[in-house]
Structure 1
């Protein structure tokens, strides 16, 4: 350690940086594919399917004469995965179909500010009329509403005074 103390600051930094540069160089070679199997693994290429012993002795089997009990490899040299059919297992039942994502959704009454008990589902009679409105049917007529059939089974606003099933109709 005394030989380090006798060095200048620049030389000591150089001595400390040398191992770092060496490690970076080794990692770079491995990533570039020059370090045996590690480079092939990082590059994503398939590994050799023959055993190390067969490679060393020059042995190995011809793929065309291989016994049928051994799995054949695909074009990348990798054995394709076995996909198990879970539906054919004894004791299992198929799942019930789920609701369609485009099916109608039940929304709590009045959530959108409309009372849909009048007319079609696209008609929006206000859930609450503006303050100061005395003649609700007159207010609806001013906004283009015609007599509305009561479809929700109730007349929450009392728009069907004669009970004929039509809100703001003749006689109301």
Structure 2
């Protein structure tokens, strides 16, 4: 019974959303059709993107040695680590939610707090595929200025977050229910 209650709590938004959307469509509420189209487009994009992302993250987790990651982008990496996480972020493609599994694995492998935040900021603003479209529509000068300003801001945020979180018990963690499932699999 606890499992069913837990599942209902976890998926309450979906259990409310889908019937409300169906009712909106049935009663001719025009935004319901637009909401459904946006929902299905986003859902299909996510289904196409996430499996490949998780495979690549899993391979990186299995093949990249922790010592190497700590040396390159860990606590003492300085400018080299910052440049490497920016390059990693620039070379990736996909929506921002794809960066969080990578950030988790980087943290698990010993990446510094500063470089985690710089990676997430760079991923959200200066991916090469996104920059190519921006240059085409906004021009090279605008794109370069925006990229350098964004980078400066995210590097500053990375350093500030490291200062604020260094002496705390900061940790990148799986959500509670996923952690329990992962711990159970490891115990088996």
Alignment TM-score, normalising by the size of structure 1: 0.20
Q: Kindly indicate whether structure 1 or structure 2 has the higher relative contact order, using CA contacts under 8 Å at least 6 residues apart.
A: 2
More helix by share: 2
Higher Cα radius of gyration: 1
